[in-house]
Amino acid sequence: MFHNREWGIMNAASSELLLLPGLICDARIFAAQLERFAGAVAVDGLGARTSLTAMARHVLDTVPGRYSLLGHSMGARVALEIVRLAPDRVERLALLSTGTHPVQPGEADKRHRLVEIGRAGGAAALVDAWLPPMLAPANRADPAVYEPLATMCRDNGVEVFAAQVEALLTRPALEGLLPTIRCPVMIAGGSEDVWSPPAQHEAIHAAIPHSRLTIVAGAGHMLPVEAPGPLNDAIAAWLSQPISH
């Protein structure tokens, strides 16, 4: 599923499409998008930073220029922080498999429990507990989907997970930001995503004027891997939207 190639940010200045991965993920999750879109660049993980703002500043400092910015899961929240900090740097915005709500009751306990599992049993135990619910039921038993994702997450490790969980639990409010976004916006999620269900994406769509919403049938939270064809078609349509200057 994933190609044996290092995806980095080395030619970012000439890139039109910048991809931001989510929690405990890295550029490998975007293998199908990097193959489809010439010049696309994926940030190879957001590291053990403990705030979304720090992640956003890292991207802004590391990747020059303006870009069509696509974020998956936590990466979508980082993309919104980039819009808040430097809206002139974002020509288009795509938000995949995410939410914009504040921390919910019970969320901190659920996330901290996973950190405890990882610290007690290692990265393999963490991934075994965390990853299956992120996938549509049909994909959990498909080695071609599951095993590359599990390897990627194990490689990133428990402490990256713990730091990124802290960033998510201290996330800034977004209610005032969403209605101000004027660039072309694509919102996409999977119909079988139980962590970021379609209703969350519908709420984001309602809050951002003139945004476009795609719900991909049969996909779970790991949309770039679970449904690369439909997602890539939606990305192509988004990239074709004109930019207002």
Task: Kindly report whether the global pTM for this prediction surpasses the value 0.85.
Answer: yes
pLDDT in tens, 33-43: 999 999 899 99
pLDDT at 245: 56
Share of the chain above pLDDT 90, in %: 90
* Alpha-carbon span 95 to 48, nearest angstrom: 22
**Cα distances (angstroms) measured from residue 144 to each of 119, 122, 135:** 28, 23, 13
pLDDT in tens, 199-243: 999 999 999 999 999 999 999 999 999 999 999 999 999 999 988
pLDDT at 11: 39
**Which residues are bridge partners to 72 per DSSP?**
96
Summary mean pLDDT of the chain:
93
pLDDT in tens, 131-187: 999 999 999 999 999 999 999 999 999 999 999 999 999 999 988 999 999 999 999
**Which residues are bridge partners to 213 per DSSP?**
187
Question: Is pLDDT at 9 greater than 50 in this prediction?
Answer: no
Extended beta strands in the chain, E state: 17-20, 41-42, 67-72, 90-96, 185-190, 212-216
Contacts of 152 (CB under 8 A, 6+ apart): 2, 25, 26, 28, 29
pLDDT in tens, 79-126: 999 999 999 999 999 999 999 999 999 999 999 999 999 999 999 999
pLDDT in tens, 177-190: 999 999 999 999 99
Question: Is pLDDT at 8 greater than 50 in this prediction?
Answer: no
Share of the chain above pLDDT 70, in %: 93
- Local confidence band at 15 (pLDDT 50, 70, 90 cut-offs): very low
Question: Is pLDDT at 10 greater than 50 in this prediction?
Answer: no
